[in-house]
Structure 1
Amino acid sequence: MTKAAKKIKTKAGVEEVPVNWSSQFALLRIAGIIIAGVALSVINARHISTLFENSLHFSHLADVEREISYRTEMGLYYSYYKTIIEAPSFLDGLRLITHDNVTEYGHTINTLKRFNLYPEVILSYAYRIFKRTANALNWKMERCWTVNRGDLSPVESCEGIGNPHYFYIDLVFALAGTTAGWLFFLGTLVSDTVFGGAIAVLAFAFNHGEATRVQWTPPLRESFAFPTIIAQTVVVTYILKNHRSGLLYGLPMVVFGCLSMLFWQFSQFAFFTQVGSLFVVYTFDFIPRPTMETLLKGHLVTFTMAFMMLFGNEMLLTSLYTASILAALILVNLDCILGRITLRPLYVAITSLCFVFGTLGIKLGISTLLQVEDDKHIFDILRSKFTDYATFHTRLYTCSKEFDFISFETLQKLCATWLLPAAAMGIFLFVVVFLFTERKELLYRSGNRGKPYAEVFYNVVQTACYAVMALLIMRLKLFFTPHLCICSAFLANNKLLQSINIHLDKRIHTVIVVAFIAAMAYEGKTNIDKQLAIQGEYSNPEQEMLFDWIMRETKPDAVFAGTMPVMANVKLTTLRPIVNHPHYEDVGIRNRTKLVYSIFSKKPISEVHDTLKKMGINYVIFQMLNCAPDIERPYCAYRGMWDEEDPENINRVSNCDLFNVAATQHDHHRILPFRIAYFRNNNYLVLKV
């Protein structure tokens, strides 16, 4: 019992227990941090929503225009939400997406298993309940008006949460908004002060355009999964900081981890790097064995639940994530043997090599046993980045800017706001602390586990993993940039400075932190203003006219093929069956797409026609702009891809030229047995197969 809590006797003889003010202030501090996190989440959600509205003028679009604005994968995901809310019942809608014969005509697939559609299932169920309640209580939850569109026909536009589009995106933005709150919590945890949380969340705001794209692409899987990944990281950091173990702490980790696995197929790679990062920290004796076992068992339960709820997803079963969990668990349980090694460099080298080779061995063993190749393209992409190796499929990925190496422009922007220098200084500070405090144990282990700053060590290693991912594939900077914000929060950690005998007065340290935030804000405020200045109004009349023709002139069961981005919108807006789509992670759909894209090749036109006919295709949507050459990278144009892929036909006339002549000069006999069914505005050409 502390002195403040001891019983004292008053003159009246009545014993009183003074209030334990330290615990009261601790509770108030925790409550204040939670309130601040919630407030930051709300502000972030409103900011994202404003940017989205500014870019598209979404409130004044008709529902069909909103559907068309969901480009490529976004349209595919939203189509399943639309399917469920328009079905006679929720269970009927669920049955339609788990026994789907529209997305890959000729095959019946479980799209919930393949495409991580739990966000759409949850949102559609919530919308059906909300709509039923609103109708029963006679709530008016949307406003509608007529919008005149110049040369186009007037349309009715509705806004409000009663509109299915608004219900969907508002909840996406609400979830994505929590990223700011979680970053605030994480920054506070690693710095032991709310000033660290402030640095993290302000750095995120100042570099918003390099940290997320939810404001432009709400239906993408990352919009749902990333906030839960950050939430799971907060839980892991708390467990490491306080050396906790047991079910009570493992449960929230499992909940957030499982949600992110259900929401995005790429979450497994993020968690693979987390398992690897934790193992590195463990090899340096910073994590007690019970804590490490809690974390690994949490990951094992996360995988098991996600695997079952995704109907036995083979790509997850054969993932590096699964293999790394098993390898780490085996090595932790072999610690009674490996732990006898006292020479630290030898211990770290042996355990690390065992982890790496164990992970690769288990992964290859399971993949070979089950004959699963769905993730082969990922390793092909990495191989193509460092060698001359290339295939049709790797070019479709690597020719896209988002799958290129991180750009110098991105790094310049991160430096301009002082984020990269701040994170580098934060990491350097920890390295100095590590070398100073561990100087006696760099060569020989003491055998003691559970050293301080395990949470900081973990986040440093995790940032290094995310840095490698972002350098290789620019799209993955959404992991890297937020974690740079976390590393910059280290600068507010006074205890780290005290560990190396730098005793700064807290007031002076606070002034330095505030000055640093002011320096970051100089360019950061400009970035926010630039984002808010983006004004646009979405309009795609050519595609709208195409879809109008499809709905008027083709049968409801007519089967369509074409480029991946257009196919997603064809399915969403016209509800026609399609044979290929933008979700390219399955080996079967990659092969299908290559067959469809033979329309851009130099193969004999009759051979292409026969191929498409065998697939059951009735119409092919062909865009003239897809035949344009790429001067800088010829192999990135569809023509160039096929010249590389099909050299035996390289001297033949391109089908692009044949279709162009047929459409513009009405010389149809050159493309027989294809027939032109639709052609307007020198863009969309629909070929009857």
Structure 2
Amino acid sequence: MERIPLSSYPVLSSQLIANVAYFTDFIGAVVAVLCGIIFGKYMQELHETKLWFSHIKQIEQEISLRTEAGLYYSYYKIAVHPEMSFNNTVYAFLHDNSTEFPRQINLFERFNIYQELFLALLYKFLISFQLLRDYYLPKPILFYVYSCFTFAGFGVTTLFFLAWTLTRSWLYGLLVFTWMLVNIDDSTRVFFTVNLRENFALPFFWLQNACIVVMLRRPDFILILQSISLVGMSLIIPRLSSTVTSFLLLQSCSFFLVVFAQFCQPMCIASICTTFNISSILALRLTNKIERGPVYTVLLKLACIAALTFSLSWFSRYLLNAEADSHIWAFVKAKIGLISRSSVPFESALYLCHGAFAYLDSDFFRRTSLNGCFPLFAAGIVIVGLITLYSLMKQYRDRDSVVPIFTDCFGPEIIFIVIQSILTGIVAIFTLRMKYLWFPQIAVVACIPPLMISKCSGRYVVQVVVIAAITTLLYNHYGIYKEQLANEQEFYDPDTVALMEWIKKSTQPLTSWSGSMQLMAGVKACTGRYVANHPHFEDKWLRDRTLQLYQMYGRKTPAEIYAILRTHKVDYIILEDSICLAPSTGCSTKDLVDTANGDMLEYVMSKKINSEDEPVRLRFCDRIRYADGETELYFKLVFENPTFRVYQVLDRNL
């Protein structure tokens, strides 16, 4: 038997280590995919338990897609129709007049609906195979909804990879998945909103972050947080300025591709992300060779970036007349106290009064602390912050030092993730719905303390503790999971179902409708009728029109409302008593209309008006309830149930 030379043992040993590493990475990749599948299935089960979705009628399924979700689904419904070819679908979307009737708009420019087009094409492709068509493919709406849950699972898989690349161990990816699972109410809203745009965007955002983390070792609003984090890191580590500039340039190029795909939408071109990236690239390039003190250099760069950003932003908005996001800036100013809430316009007040845009509830911190996630996140922020601060102080004292001291503990990729999580946290505290962007980052940053401890006390000891924590959390959550699935509910909204069925049977397909924004999305999704307003608010013209149409809940005369509706070519209006008779709180829809009109609010009126004052005009929605000679000249009641009243706008020219 031939003997193996001793000199070959190191080679064999290194090959064995490499094979073990490849096998471990393969196992990690499999676990990442399984985590995504489990999470997506969990979302589907929660959704099914809440609505009994797969067993109810299609019209009920469509009604359950509330507000914007119904609007986006309506475009998938058009595209997936058997009689709609790809060319016909694209043409219909490019020249749509059913969404803001009679105005014709380019849907690709106004909305991000490429996902709906892709899923419709995929469904048509799969249904062409008889085996799939006969035995496996569900109805189009089920395919659409389940595809959304698949994207949610993909998001968890990409988040797994982000934690893996940051910590160099897929075990922490599994820990992040576990935290996402046990903090389900704070980590995602997919199981009750289904198809909102964040569900499709976040997986690629986490993937983009993972790529940045990998590259640092050798994306409109969310993208600006990422850009600021990169610039902040370049100020802390000046030697990475050229790398950060390259990232910003690459991000800007990809963002402009999105702008191009949305037919050069002015709001995207003039967005703060675009101007900030261009300003940062110019400032970092122009100040790259300044050799003054570090503090002076940082302040100079910050001043240059701020001045260029505001200048470019003002110039681009002026040049393009971009007002589509003006309501967002008014909302932000009101949130941080720069303007009073009473002075914000109607469209911004709608956001301020919406629960999803309220301040983050304090119970969030208690819930996320029970399983150790938030305390570890806070510890990670403190550890990274203190070490970075100490390193910078040492570096400023020792001008000859090139490499920061913190590189002995962690790399710049951790600083990037920490800065981004802090920025996102600030936004989330002011806007509740942003917690679904913040919590995944909390989970990732929470992996930093055990990672730091492993460098001191040994990797295997910490890994055993992490495995024990994962096992305990999953075991405890299994009981909650069983309780969630045992709480079976069913979709029940007979009045809305009756309304939609009546519209489909009793009205012409080409009629136009107006009502509350959320209801109009349902009308379009369920019946395909033309609508005059809808919940997607990123257009100044539409916001102004919505305020005019909402005068049906204001103190206008029938003649005034009739003139408004005829101007906008509305054939039918739907009035809801839940809006008309809602208590006056200052935030009800009718209160917002009164504020926009300069009328006194009801709850203020009850305190100030006495019997000797002039009588207050009835709201139109209430006045029309009691049919008289004036209202019958303009409107005809054609449908009524306990929730809705439908009136036909009469043509007085006939």
Q: TM-score, normalised by structure 1?
A: 0.85
Structure 1 residues 652 and 366, CA, compared in 2 at 3 Å: closer, same or farther?
A: farther
Structure 1 residues 606 and 449, CA, compared in 2 at 3 Å: closer, same or farther?
A: farther
Task: Show the counterpart of 1:99.
Answer: 95
Which of 126, 129, 149 aligns to 2:125? It is 129
Q: Does structure 1 conserve the Cα–Cα contact (< 8 Å) formed by 2:287 and 2:301?
A: no
Q: Per-residue deviation at 1:449? A: 6.2
Deviates more, 1:187-196 or 1:605-614: 187-196
Q: Per-residue deviation at 1:521? A: 5.9
Q: Per-residue deviation at 1:188? A: 2.2
Query: For residues 319 and 527 of structure 1, what CA distance do their matches in structure 2 show?
Result: 43
Task: Show the counterpart of 2:59.
Answer: 64
Deviates more, 1:432-441 or 1:606-615: 432-441
Q: Does structure 1 conserve the Cα–Cα contact (< 8 Å) formed by 2:521 and 2:534?
A: yes
Secondary structure at the counterpart of residue 336 of structure 1: coil
Which of 478, 499, 519 aligns to 1:546? It is 499
Q: Does 2:470 match 1:474?
A: no
Secondary structure at the counterpart of residue 140 of structure 1: helix
Q: Per-residue deviation at 1:53? A: 0.8
Q: Does 2:167 match 1:215?
A: no
Which of 360, 373, 376 aligns to 1:422? It is 376
Q: Per-residue deviation at 1:303? A: 1.4
Query: For residues 392 and 599 of structure 2, what CA distance do their matches in structure 1 show?
Result: 63
Deviates more, 1:404-413 or 1:45-54: 404-413
Residue 449 of structure 2 aligns with an amino acid whose one-letter code is L
Task: Show the counterpart of 2:587.
Answer: 636
Query: For residues 472 and 9 of structure 2, what CA distance do their matches in structure 1 show?
Result: 55
Query: For residues 672 and 347 of structure 1, what CA distance do their matches in structure 2 show?
Result: 73
Aligned sequence identity (%): 24
Residue 399 of structure 1 aligns with an amino acid whose one-letter code is C
Q: Does structure 2 conserve the Cα–Cα contact (< 8 Å) formed by 1:674 and 1:687?
A: no
Structure 1 residues 533 and 471, CA, compared in 2 at 3 Å: closer, same or farther?
A: farther
Query: For residues 471 and 310 of structure 1, what CA distance do their matches in structure 2 show?
Result: 31
Task: Show the counterpart of 1:54.
Answer: 49
Structure 1 residues 533 and 402, CA, compared in 2 at 3 Å: closer, same or farther?
A: farther
Which of 479, 488, 496 aligns to 1:535? It is 488
User: Which residues of 2 match residues 101-180 of structure 1 at below 5 A?
Assistant: 101-134=97-130, 137=131, 139-141=133-135, 161-180=137-156
Q: Does structure 1 conserve the Cα–Cα contact (< 8 Å) formed by 2:236 and 2:392?
A: no
Structure 1 residues 439 and 532, CA, compared in 2 at 3 Å: closer, same or farther?
A: farther
Task: Show the counterpart of 2:605.
Answer: none
User: Which residues of 2 match residues 509-658 of structure 1 at below 5 A?
Assistant: 509-514=462-467, 517=470, 528=481, 531-630=484-583, 634-647=585-598, 653=616, 655-656=618-619
Structure 1 residues 406 and 516, CA, compared in 2 at 3 Å: closer, same or farther?
A: same
After superposition, the CA RMSD in angstroms is 2.7
Task: Show the counterpart of 1:157.
Answer: none
User: Which residues of 2 match residues 223-238 of structure 1 at below 5 A?
Assistant: 223-238=199-214
Query: For residues 263 and 399 of structure 2, what CA distance do their matches in structure 1 show?
Result: 45
Q: Does 2:73 match 1:78?
A: yes
Q: Per-residue deviation at 1:438? A: 4.1
Q: Could you report, residue by residue, the CA deviation over 1:369-410 in whole angstroms, capped at 9, with x for unpaired residues?
A: 111111111110011221313221111111110011111232
Query: For residues 30 and 586 of structure 1, what CA distance do their matches in structure 2 show?
Result: 47
Query: For residues 141 and 615 of structure 2, what CA distance do their matches in structure 1 show?
Result: 47
Residue 299 of structure 1 aligns with an amino acid whose one-letter code is Q
Query: For residues 449 and 505 of structure 2, what CA distance do their matches in structure 1 show?
Result: 63
Query: For residues 463 and 190 of structure 1, what CA distance do their matches in structure 2 show?
Result: 14
Task: Show the counterpart of 1:441.
Answer: 395
Q: Per-residue deviation at 1:511? A: 4.2
Task: Show the counterpart of 2:646.
Answer: 686
Query: For residues 369 and 220 of structure 1, what CA distance do their matches in structure 2 show?
Result: 31
User: Which residues of 2 match residues 387-466 of structure 1 at below 5 A?
Assistant: 387-388=339-340, 389-443=343-397, 445-446=399-400, 448=402, 451=407, 452-466=410-424
Deviates more, 1:125-134 or 1:373-382: 125-134
Q: Does 2:362 match 1:368?
A: no
Query: For residues 16 and 420 of structure 1, what CA distance do their matches in structure 2 show?
Result: 45
Task: Show the counterpart of 2:251.
Answer: 299
Query: For residues 600 and 566 of structure 2, what CA distance do their matches in structure 1 show?
Result: 21
Task: Show the counterpart of 1:674.
Answer: 634
Secondary structure at the counterpart of residue 622 of structure 1: strand
Secondary structure at the counterpart of residue 514 of structure 2: strand
Query: For residues 144 and 358 of structure 2, what CA distance do their matches in structure 1 show?
Result: 31
Structure 1 residues 130 and 355, CA, compared in 2 at 3 Å: closer, same or farther?
A: same
Query: For residues 191 and 352 of structure 1, what CA distance do their matches in structure 2 show?
Result: 31
Q: TM-score, normalised by structure 2?
A: 0.90
Query: For residues 141 and 593 of structure 2, what CA distance do their matches in structure 1 show?
Result: 39
Q: Does structure 2 conserve the Cα–Cα contact (< 8 Å) formed by 1:289 and 1:449?
A: no
Query: For residues 439 and 79 of structure 1, what CA distance do their matches in structure 2 show?
Result: 57
Query: For residues 118 and 503 of structure 2, what CA distance do their matches in structure 1 show?
Result: 31
Q: Could you report, residue by residue, the CA deviation over 1:519-555 in whole angstroms, capped at 9, with x for unpaired residues?
A: 7668756664564454321122211211222222222
Query: For residues 84 and 573 of structure 1, what CA distance do their matches in structure 2 show?
Result: 15
Query: For residues 92 and 652 of structure 1, what CA distance do their matches in structure 2 show?
Result: 56
Any stretches of 5+ residues in structure 1 without a counterpart? 1-7, 142-159, 244-256, 258-267
Task: Show the counterpart of 2:298.
Answer: 348
Q: Could you report, residue by residue, the CA deviation over 1:227-260 in whole angstroms, capped at 9, with x for unpaired residues?
A: 11111111111111x22xxxxxxxxxxxxx5xxx
Deviates more, 1:592-601 or 1:85-94: 85-94
Q: Does structure 2 conserve the Cα–Cα contact (< 8 Å) formed by 1:605 and 1:655?
A: no
Q: Could you report, residue by residue, the CA deviation over 1:209-244 in whole angstroms, capped at 9, with x for unpaired residues?
A: 11111111112111111111111111111111x22x
Query: For residues 623 and 15 of structure 1, what CA distance do their matches in structure 2 show?
Result: 81
Q: Does structure 1 conserve the Cα–Cα contact (< 8 Å) formed by 2:454 and 2:462?
A: no
Query: For residues 36 and 46 of structure 1, what CA distance do their matches in structure 2 show?
Result: 15
Deviates more, 1:569-578 or 1:284-293: 284-293
Q: Per-residue deviation at 1:161? A: 2.8
Q: Does structure 2 conserve the Cα–Cα contact (< 8 Å) formed by 1:628 and 1:637?
A: no
Q: Does structure 1 conserve the Cα–Cα contact (< 8 Å) formed by 2:163 and 2:172?
A: yes
Q: Does 2:225 match 1:273?
A: yes
Residue 170 of structure 2 aligns with an amino acid whose one-letter code is V
Secondary structure at the counterpart of residue 509 of structure 1: helix
Residue 405 of structure 1 aligns with an amino acid whose one-letter code is Y
Residue 562 of structure 1 aligns with an amino acid whose one-letter code is G
Residue 296 of structure 2 aligns with an amino acid whose one-letter code is L
Query: For residues 275 and 469 of structure 1, what CA distance do their matches in structure 2 show?
Result: 15
Secondary structure at the counterpart of residue 537 of structure 1: coil
Structure 1 residues 668 and 574, CA, compared in 2 at 3 Å: closer, same or farther?
A: farther
Q: Does 2:33 match 1:33?
A: no
Q: Does structure 1 conserve the Cα–Cα contact (< 8 Å) formed by 2:78 and 2:84?
A: no
Query: For residues 179 and 189 of structure 2, what CA distance do their matches in structure 1 show?
Result: 16
Structure 1 residues 659 and 138, CA, compared in 2 at 3 Å: closer, same or farther?
A: closer
Q: Per-residue deviation at 1:445? A: 4.9
Which of 320, 323, 330 aligns to 2:282? It is 330
Task: Show the counterpart of 1:380.
Answer: 330
Query: For residues 554 and 196 of structure 1, what CA distance do their matches in structure 2 show?
Result: 57
Task: Show the counterpart of 2:607.
Answer: none
Query: For residues 168 and 398 of structure 1, what CA distance do their matches in structure 2 show?
Result: 31
Q: Does 2:264 match 1:312?
A: yes
Structure 1 residues 20 and 529, CA, compared in 2 at 3 Å: closer, same or farther?
A: same
Structure 1 residues 16 and 476, CA, compared in 2 at 3 Å: closer, same or farther?
A: closer
Secondary structure at the counterpart of residue 20 of structure 1: helix
Q: Per-residue deviation at 1:585? A: 1.0
Residue 76 of structure 1 aligns with an amino acid whose one-letter code is L
Structure 1 residues 167 and 80, CA, compared in 2 at 3 Å: closer, same or farther?
A: same
Query: For residues 427 and 192 of structure 1, what CA distance do their matches in structure 2 show?
Result: 19
Q: Does structure 1 conserve the Cα–Cα contact (< 8 Å) formed by 2:571 and 2:648?
A: yes
Query: For residues 439 and 8 of structure 2, what CA distance do their matches in structure 1 show?
Result: 60
Query: For residues 399 and 176 of structure 2, what CA distance do their matches in structure 1 show?
Result: 34
